[in-house]
């Protein structure tokens, strides 16, 4: 059992984006609880988390 832990993810969202989808992956048996999800605008100088190439949308225009 793990106590509540706050996580933050900072990423760039395309200016013409109309939806943001999010979720949780569980790699083993267990339960995930989510509470107080918030979306906030931050300044351009705020560093993004993770690798941008790892999470970059692939073929967002559906042209390929």
Q: What is the pLDDT of residues 1-57, one digit of tens each?
A: 778 888 888 988 888 989 988 888 888 888 888 898 899 999 889 888 876 555 567
Q: What is the pLDDT of residues 44-56, one digit of tens each?
A: 898 888 765 555 6
Full-model pTM: 0.57
Residue 2: per-residue pLDDT: 79
Burial string for 16-54 (b: 16+ CB within 10 Å, else e) reads: eeeeeeeeeeeeeeeeeeeeeeeeeeeeeeeeeeeeeee
Q: Which residue is associated with the tokens 């993770």? A: 50
Residue 5 CB-density burial (10 A; 0-12 exposed, 13-18 middle, 19+ buried): exposed
């Amino acid at each position: 059992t793990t106590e509540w832990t706050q996580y933050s993810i900072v990423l760039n969202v395309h200016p013409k984006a109309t939806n943001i989808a999010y979720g949780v992956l569980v790699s083993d048996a267990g339960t995930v609880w989510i509470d107080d999800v918030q979306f906030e605008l931050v300044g351009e100088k705020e560093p993004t988390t993770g690798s941008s190439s790892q999470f970059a949308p692939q073929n967002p225009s559906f042209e390929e």
